[in-house]
Structure 1
Amino acid sequence: MKIKKFLFILAFVISFSLFSFSALNSSSVINFDFYTYKGEKYSLQKFKGKYVLLNLFTSYCPMCLVELNTLNKLNQICKSNEYKIISLLVDKEGMPLLPKIVNSRNLTYIVGIAPSDIFKIFPDFSITPTTYILNQNGNLVERVVGYKNLKDWTKILNKYVNCN
């Protein structure tokens, strides 16, 4: 009985790892349009040539809201113009709160509303916060799940751009 359970878990882990690996090495360009709470329309294609830290968050996630502050600090201390930080709210119920979230934190980077098909674009997205790092061509190069502090984010970003 224990061997069957172990083999099942092992098969699941291997399958999940292969799926995750293939998703991260996808050669398809990720591009979609989104809006800020002010109604400004953006396309990820606009940021071609830069690394994009695409942070997905919800209004009811305490660690997401803390990470917005962390990403704002990262944006302020890392003056490289080789990257862009974008945070997108995924819960539509939180849309009325978005102006307050942005203004109360004095966020200086782009914060918008995720398109309705965000779960199709990122089928592996299930935990907030999750940040997808896209390379200069718009290909997914890394997925960061869960809250990270400023030191962690600086280390992660330094893999792609000089942030010292």
Structure 2
Amino acid sequence: MKQFFVAMLALLMSSANAFPGASSDPALERFIHLSRPQALETVQILGPDGASFDLSQFRGQPVMLNLWATWCPPCIRELPSLERFRQDFEAKGLQVAPISIDRDISVVQPFLAELGITDMETWFDTSNQIGKILPTDLIPATFILDSEGNLVGFVRSFIDWDNPAVRKTMEQYLPQ
């Protein structure tokens, strides 16, 4: 199943610009919007409090999963704009869930504090559980799930979440 999904992602990513109306904005060219929601199995990660957290607990509202790590330069560059995006879009009904893939969760909060990001709740995937249902070979990576927990879009690269075109694109995932 995972190999099929990875092959599908590779095919979609290689032909993203072949679709009529593809954006010329480089930030938007990396977004893949699925034509049909893709059902995902659920996996266990750690919640912001360090307790076990099942991804199905996000159901009921759309969620944006953003995989990152303290040792990833593009992730570090992305985090401040992700935090500003989170503040704005959670008020509109989109749950933003940054998920650190660092193996040692004790390094994450001091690292975020060093960046001046003190209000961002972070989930943790120390054993690549998300890798069982989504490709995790490239970070930062953002996966957008609808309110039923289905994958509806993704971007596997650095994104400037302050970019007005990116924000406008993300509005399509807000609850109606």
TM-score by length of 1: 0.72
Runs (4 or more) in structure 1 with deviation over 6 Å come to: 18-21
Percent identical = 23
- For structure 1, the residue ranges without an aligned partner over 5 or more in a row are 1-12
Residue 91 of structure 1: SS of its match in structure 2?
coil
Q: 1:59 is paired with a residue of what secondary structure? A: coil
Deviation at 1:85, TM superposition (A): 0.7
Q: Does 1:17 align with 2:11?
A: yes
Match in the other structure for 1:154? 167
SS of the equivalent of 1:108 reads coil
- Residue 46 of structure 1 corresponds to 57
Residue 103 of structure 1 corresponds to 113
Q: TM-score scaled to structure 2, two decimals?
A: 0.68
SS across alignment from 2:108: helix
Contact 2:89–2:95 under 8 Å retained in 1: no
How many aligned positions are there? 146
> Could you say what the CA RMSD is over the residues aligned between the two structures, in angstroms?
3.0
- Name the residue aligned to 2:24: none
- In structure 1, the residue matched to 2:131 is 119
Q: Structure 2 unaligned runs (5+)? A: 1-6, 16-33
Amino acid at match of 1:61: C
Q: Return closer, same or farther for 1:107/1:47 CA change in 2, 3 Å cut-off.
A: farther
Question: Which structure carries more helix by proportion?
Answer: 1
* Structure 2: distance between partners of 1:134 and 1:63: 23
Shift of the 26–76 alpha-carbon distance from structure 1 to 2, 3 Å rule, reads closer
Deviation at 1:112, TM superposition (A): 1.9
